[in-house]
Amino acid sequence: MELTLFDLDNTLLNGDSDYAWAQFLIDQGVLDRAAYEVRNLEFYGQYKAGTLDIHAFLDFQLAPLAKHSRTQLDAWHRQFMQETIEPMVAKHARALIESHRVRERTLAIVTATNTFITGPIAAHLNIPHLIGTEIEEIGGRFTGRSKGTPSFREGKIARVEEWLAGAGRTLAAHHAVWFYSDSANDLSLLEIVSHPVAVDPDDRLRAIAQERGWPIISLH
């Protein structure tokens, strides 16, 4: 069995969907610019520096979802997809995805970004499986809290194993596993797959990939 895993933000996308969603809500007047924009930038900077407290970020990022109906959120997301995400898809992302699909490998996105944001993106890219941070939902409304293990850093390994276990499989049972990522935050998962690939990597991941002889590619 062969498995291909893709990080999403700054890998298949030429940008960060988490950050872009908050900026979209600010631009729509849903979030107060003065209150949210600086904090959004701070969290994004922490992510790039490898110092992000994922739980503090999720408290910040998920809270606005609890204030609006799912109908309204879905309407905003459709606009977000058209105006922000579709132009953000990396130039060569689809060709890479298809190169694995034609070889009949199992394809999945593995991202720290929550599944409300990323579900329609995975569908747009025609990737059948999505492992993202789950959001608690009660009575058809988001509570503003995450659910389960966030798929961030080592949590990505836990969530991949959990997903595979649901199908009676394990990561180790696959004789070939590819993982494409831009970020040193994903080093723990990159280190355990058979085919780690650095995609337009940050400086830390580029240095590690060069040292270890991992492929470095650009999709942008």
Q: Catalytic residue numbers?
A: 7, 9
Positive or negative CA dihedral for 130, 131, 135, 137? positive
- CA-based R_g, the chain, Å: 17
What kind and span of H or E run contains 216?
strand 216-217
Alpha helices in the chain (DSSP H): 17-27, 33-49, 54-62, 70-80, 93-101, 115-124, 154-165, 187-190, 203-212
What single DSSP character describes residue 13?
A: B
Exposure of 90 in the CB half-sphere (CA atoms within 13 A): 26
Q: How far is CA 63 from CA 8, 22, 58, 60, 80, in A?
A: 22, 11, 8, 6, 18
Q: How far apart are the first and last CA of the chain?
A: 29
Please report, as a single letter, which amino acid is at residue 212: R
